[in-house]
Structure 1
Amino acid sequence: MGRRGGVSAGGDLNCGLGSNDDPALVAENRRRAAGAVMPEAPLVGVYQIHSADCVAVEAPWGDADRPRADALVTDRPGVLLSILTADCAPVLLADAEAGVVGAAHAGWRGAIGGVTDATIAAMLRLGARIDHIAAAVGPCIAQRSYEVDQDFLERFLDDDAGNDRFFAGGPGDRPHFDLEAYVVARLAAAGVRQVEALGLDTYHVEDRFFSFRRATHRGEADYGRQVSIIGLPTAQQNR
């Protein structure tokens, strides 16, 4: 979900628990976001740390009890998994036949560290089949907006020389990184055959998305977070 349709300043749907926004407004935004997907279902998230750690959700927990991780999986109907982003890539995964879903927060650290691989592995432990998993990569910063330094580039090349295909030159020969394409490639390499990338740039599409980098470039004191949500309907909701 993007930034529209909320109760924060300017009608923003800021769902970021770590933002400086009024907690009551954030809570209402999160309620609205969850209700748009599955009314009355609890929204479960993690305290995101740019890791490759994934947790399995057996029962919902409160926001104050969020484990430190960057991905969640569940096979429990009626629970909504959520990921917050503001340039990083949100990845939602599902094996509809097995009834297993996952959500991952893939910033560059988590992406190269294997957060999507960890999410897929956790889904397989719950009974998913790799050839039945479909994935979607949501709005994230696009390559044209993602200037990095040489050390960043070298880190990816040290991991795999083939990663050079995810970098392009920019002004002053500064490399630009294609986070979305890298995440898609990691999913494909893990065996996920159905991958859809939305191709939406959080940095440039300002009226629809929050962006940490845009806020930083402008010297803004805070920034909002959009939420990506996935869940399994209950038997009653399927009727």
Structure 2
Amino acid sequence: MSSSRRAKALVEVPALRADVLAGVPHGFLGRRGGVSTGAVAGLNVGLGADDAPEAVRENRARAVAAVAPAARLTTVYQVHSGDCVVAGDWDDAHRPHADALVTDKPGVVLGIVTADCAPILLADAQAGVVGAAHAGWKGAFGGVAEATVEAMVALGASRNRIVAAIGPCIAQASYEVDDGFRARFIARDETLGRFFAQGREGHWQFALEPFVAHRLALAGVGHVESLSRDTYADEEGFFSFRRATHRSEATYGRQFSLIARP
């Protein structure tokens, strides 16, 4: 992308910012401002979204330009795990299987893709260490928040200085689960029942965002900001796997959450 087009992208690609990450280059992006068409119209950045490769490349370039111009984008091959890695100099074909990554290097922007799962951006600005995590229910349940904090501490971050923001994800009102889903949580800890509200018979409404905040608190993060934006309900603003599934659509787009060290 030319410098003029990058400058234009800074204006055209809206990004949600978290107060807790003020001073740290970051952004939670939605579907606005991209070039993709069809079912994934907008700023689709998913490599597996059955989109034109050139459109995904353009969207990714626009996204990076909107958050950390000239930085090198690093992502992982997300598998709904609790694993976190230190960002390296790999290409898309050789991304490690993990759901979070951290760095203390300048000129690197970390990227997490989501489409209902909760994106987490974390920083210890004083130490110059940042992290990004993809927390669906499996990842959150499996400890991805805790693993990310531990990886940041290993790079020199201080646990009591780390702050985190939880970006747009599916809200409790939109997230219906069955008895078996809830039972998995209750079997581990009966107090986790507070993250479920009674729904129709045999079903519950799961509060993913508060559960992720709970796991961050367990990891020692003292200041967590939740943006409380529902990806399922806001069709114009965000892609949603569950919405696409309910409509029997063939594919669905993904949005980026990005962070770079200050």
Aligned mate of 1:8, from 36, 39, 62: 36
* Structure-2 separation of matches of 1:125 and 1:79: 18
Letter in 1 for 2:48: G
Q: What is the one-letter code of the residue matched to 2:67?
A: V
Q: Partner of 2:191 in structure 1?
A: 162
Aligned to 1:237: none
CA distance in 2, matches of 1:3, 1:79: 23
What is aligned with 1:225?
Answer: 254
Q: CA RMSD in A?
A: 1.0
Q: Report the secondary structure of 1:164's partner residue.
A: helix
SS at match of 2:107: coil
Distance 1:106 1:152 in 2: 16
Q: How far 1:191 sits from its partner (Å)? A: 1.3
Please state whether the residue corresponding to 2:156 is helix, strand or coil.
coil
Q: Which amino acid in the other structure matches residue 166 of structure 1?
A: F
- 2:219 and 2:69 map into 1 onto residues whose CA distance is 33
User: Distance between the aligned counterparts of 1:94 and 1:232, measured in 2?
Assistant: 8
Mapping for residues 142-221 of structure 1, pairs under 5 Å: 142-221=171-250
Match of 1:31? 61
Q: Which runs of 5 or more residues in structure 1 are unaligned?
A: 234-239
Contact 1:42–1:60, Cα closer than 8 Å, also in 2: no
Cα distance between partner residues in 1 of 2:239 and 2:134 = 15
CA distance in structure 2 between the partners assigned to 1:31 and 1:61 by the alignment: 17
CA distance in 2, matches of 1:53, 1:195: 21
Among residues 49, 70, 74, which one is paired with 2:103 in the alignment?
74
Residue of structure 2 aligned with 1:19, choices 37, 49, 52: 49
Aligned partner of 2:12 in structure 1 is none
Write the letter of the residue equivalent to 1:3. R
What percentage of aligned pairs have identical amino acids? 62
| Deviation sequence 1:163-214 (CA, Å, 0-9, x none) | 0000001123511100000000111122111100000000001110000000
